[in-house]
């Protein structure tokens, strides 16, 4: 599944995004700590990292959502002229659904348990596209069929009657109801069996092409990202530690954390693909003062304990937050 060519001006630009959460030790601690990236029309990027890295908080902030008790601490998210972190609610709502479609981490949480799927999708179509009556019913049926939920039976189904894979597809239909240009999908394959995962990935790929959608795929599994995107943002303890083309990073990862993710995605002995869903990094408020990966790093030196490294260019379109590996690649 090769991703389509990215193109053109920026669709979304996140700059220095910072989100704080209450620290276990009291006070506030950064959980998302200066995330910057850009997405162009039709461009597919994955945000990859272990559980607790701050991926979901980042994804939600793109829609202008910072769920309490988390709080915004800085940065901006520009979608066209709208800063999703500061614009009034009406301006943000105009972007949600119509420019950015969002499939949250627990798809069931985006579905209303007491309303049929048909009702929910018709409501989204009315809200975003102004469709009503017969038109909305036809469009809802088409939309459900396009995500692989054909027949009227899914229109009448309630969320609890759907399997995990079907709920993911229904949440996707809801996210697409407003005809967005960017889809943000948070762990769309997590918790599904392998066959169902493959089906959802193919569906995302097909829908992406059909609607020329840009995609931000959030996942703990680099293998999932490799199947679908061109570019990856590797996130560890609230910050990006390596960014670049997915094939380059999968072949020659530089950051020791990316090396570990690549080994896990390949299922190498001693690696732990499932384990990446649980959190091995320290929680917000307990990050080391120097390099945040230092306590787990096989290459760590004395300086790594004291100096917090910046993200530095490693090659065209490739950046890494590790002076130790950069030294090794220098002239």
Ligand X SMILES: Nc1ncnc2c1ncn2[C@@H]1O[C@H](COP(=O)(O)OP(=O)(O)O)[C@@H](O)[C@H]1O
Minimal distance, residue 281 CB to ligand X, in Å? 9
Q: Does 146 bind Mg ion (CB under 5 A)?
A: no
Q: Does 222 bind ligand X (CB under 6 A)?
A: no
Minimal distance, residue 260 CB to ligand X, in Å? 16
* Identified binder of ligand X from the candidate list 14, 17, 31, 143, rule CB under 6 A: 31
Q: Which is nearer to Mg ion, 185 or 291 (CB)?
A: 185
Q: Does 75 bind ligand X (CB under 6 A)?
A: no
Residue 159, contacted partner among ligand X, Mg ion, none, CB below 5-8 A by kind: none
Minimal distance, residue 55 CB to ligand X, in Å? 3
CA of residue 271 relative to chain centroid, distance: 23
Strand 231-236 to 214-219 pairing: unpaired
Q: Does 258 bind Mg ion (CB under 5 A)?
A: no
Residue 67, contacted partner among Mg ion, ligand X, none, CB below 5-8 A by kind: ligand X
Q: Which stretch binds Mg ion (CB under 5 A): 100-108, 153-161, 174-182, 241-249?
A: 100-108
Minimal distance, residue 61 CB to ligand X, in Å? 9
User: CA 306 to CA 72: how far, in whole Å?
Assistant: 27
User: CA 84 to CA 3: how far, in whole Å?
Assistant: 27
Q: Which is nearer to ligand X, 20 or 147 (CB)?
A: 20
- Count of alpha carbons within 13 angstroms of residue 185, beta-carbon side: 35
Question: What tokens does 251 get?
Answer: 């072949």
**In sequence order, what E strands does 4-154 have?**
12-22, 28-39, 44-48, 71-79, 82-83, 100-103
Q: Does 21 bind ligand X (CB under 6 A)?
A: yes
Q: Does 55 bind ligand X (CB under 6 A)?
A: yes
Residue 70, contacted partner among ligand X, Mg ion, none, CB below 5-8 A by kind: ligand X
Q: Does 67 bind ligand X (CB under 6 A)?
A: yes
User: CA 105 to CA 110: how far, in whole Å?
Assistant: 9
Radius of gyration of the chain (CA): 20
Q: Which is nearer to ligand X, 86 or 286 (CB)?
A: 286
Residues in contact with ligand X, shown as a per-residue x/- string from 282 to 311 under the rule CB under 6 A: -xx---------------------------
Binding to ligand X in span 34-53, by CB under 6 A: 49, 51-53
Nearest to 46 by CA among 227, 240, 225: 225
Q: Does 56 bind Mg ion (CB under 5 A)?
A: yes
Q: Which is nearer to Mg ion, 43 or 186 (CB)?
A: 186
For the sheet containing 71-79, what is the strand order?
28-39, 12-22, 71-79, 82-83
Sign of CA dihedral 113, 119, 121, 125: negative
Minimal distance, residue 180 CB to ligand X, in Å? 21
Q: Does 324 bind ligand X (CB under 6 A)?
A: no
Q: Does 219 bind Mg ion (CB under 5 A)?
A: no
Contacts of 142 (CB under 8 A, 6+ apart): none
- In angstroms, what CA-CA distances link 273 with 154, 230, 235, 278? 34, 21, 16, 10
- What φ, ψ does residue 42 adopt, rounded to 5°? 70, 0
User: CA 221 to CA 262: how far, in whole Å?
Assistant: 9
Query: Which residues contribute to the site for ligand X (CB under 6 A)?
Result: 21, 31, 49, 51-57, 67, 69-70, 283-284
Applying CB under 5 A, the residues found at the interface with Mg ion are 55-56, 105
């Amino acid at each position: 599944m090769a991703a389509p060519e990215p193109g053109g001006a920026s669709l979304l630009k996140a700059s220095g995004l910072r989100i704080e959460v209450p620290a276990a030790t009291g006070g506030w601690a950064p959980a998302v700590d200066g995330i910057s990236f850009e997405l162009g029309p039709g461009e597919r990027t994955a945000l990859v990292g272990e559980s607790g890295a701050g991926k979901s908080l980042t994804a939600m902030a793109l829609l202008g959502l910072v769920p309490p008790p988390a709080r915004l601490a800085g940065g901006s998210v520009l979608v066209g002229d709208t800063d999703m972190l500061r614009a009034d609610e009406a301006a943000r709502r105009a972007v949600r659904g119509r420019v950015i479609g969002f499939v949250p981490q627990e798809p069931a949480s985006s579905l209303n348990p007491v309303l049929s799927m048909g009702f929910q999708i018709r409501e989204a179509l009315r809200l975003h596209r102004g469709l009503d009556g017969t038109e909305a019913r036809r469009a809802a049926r088409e939309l459900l069929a396009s995500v692989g939920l054909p027949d009227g039976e899914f229109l009448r189904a309630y969320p609890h009657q759907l399997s995990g894979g079907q709920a993911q597809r229904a949440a996707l239909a809801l996210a697409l109801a407003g005809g967005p240009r960017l889809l943000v999908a948070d762990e769309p394959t997590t918790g599904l069996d392998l066959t169902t995962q493959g089906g959802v990935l193919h569906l995302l790929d097909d829908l992406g092409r059909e609607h020329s959608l840009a995609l931000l795929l959030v996942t703990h599994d680099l293998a999932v990202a490799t199947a679908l995107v061109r570019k990856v943002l590797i996130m560890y303890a609230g910050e990006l530690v390596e960014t670049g083309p997915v094939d380059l990073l999968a072949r020659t990862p530089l950051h020791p954390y990316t090396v570990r993710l690549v080994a896990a995605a390949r299922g190498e002995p001693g690696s732990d693909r499932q384990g990446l869903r649980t959190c091995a990094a320290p929680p917000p408020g307990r990050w080391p003062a120097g390099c945040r990966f230092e306590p787990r790093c096989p290459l760590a030196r004395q300086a790594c304990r004291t100096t917090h490294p910046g993200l530095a260019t490693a090659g065209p379109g490739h950046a890494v937050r590790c002076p130790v590996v950069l030294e090794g690649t220098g002239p």
